[in-house]
Amino acid sequence: MGEEKPHKVLMDSNRDSVRVWLRLAEGYRYLTDGQHTVLLASSDESVLVVPPFEIPDISFDWQVPVEVKGDGETTLHLQAMVFFCPVSDESICLFNACDVQQPVVVLGGTDADVEIIVDVEPMA
């Protein structure tokens, strides 16, 4: 069975950030000293640019700054590797990688925000 293609979402051309939320499963917490990596990029920088950014905190729910260059279509590509543990046993370290592509249509006058929300589950 193939994966479902993500639908295009609208983004108002006046926006200056995209919400990225790596939503951790209940009963787990992110490791404060984990070697987390999060990368966000745009497939068409004539429409939308994502400047380099540092992971601001381990909430993994942020507004990532972006620069809108003009109306058009692009795809936001989110790649992340995160480390976490069960709240009940912090000696068990787990990790998960995510790779998400979100098509975006940037258009003025839409008043629309973009959110990339990924459910982070322990790998089976």
pLDDT tens for 16-71 read 999 999 999 999 999 999 999 999 999 999 999 999 999 999 999 999 999 999 99
pLDDT for 28 equals: 95
Indicate the pTM of the whole model. 0.89
- If you ran DSSP here, which 8-state letter would residue 110 be given? -
Does some domain include residue 1? no
How many structural domains does the chain have?
1
Q: Which domain holds residue 68?
A: 9-114
pLDDT, residue 2, reads: 45
pLDDT at 124: 56
Q: Is 34 helix (H, G, I), strand (E, B) or coil?
A: coil
In a domain, 22, yes or no: yes
pLDDT at residue 5 in the model: 65
Q: Is 2 part of a structural domain of the chain? A: no
* Residue 1: predicted pLDDT: 39
Q: What is the mean pLDDT of residues 63-80?
A: 96
Distance CA 31, CA 35 (A): 9
- Cα(117)–Cα(28) distance, integer angstroms: 17
CATH assignment at residue 63: 2.60.40
Res. 4 pLDDT band, cuts 50 70 90? low
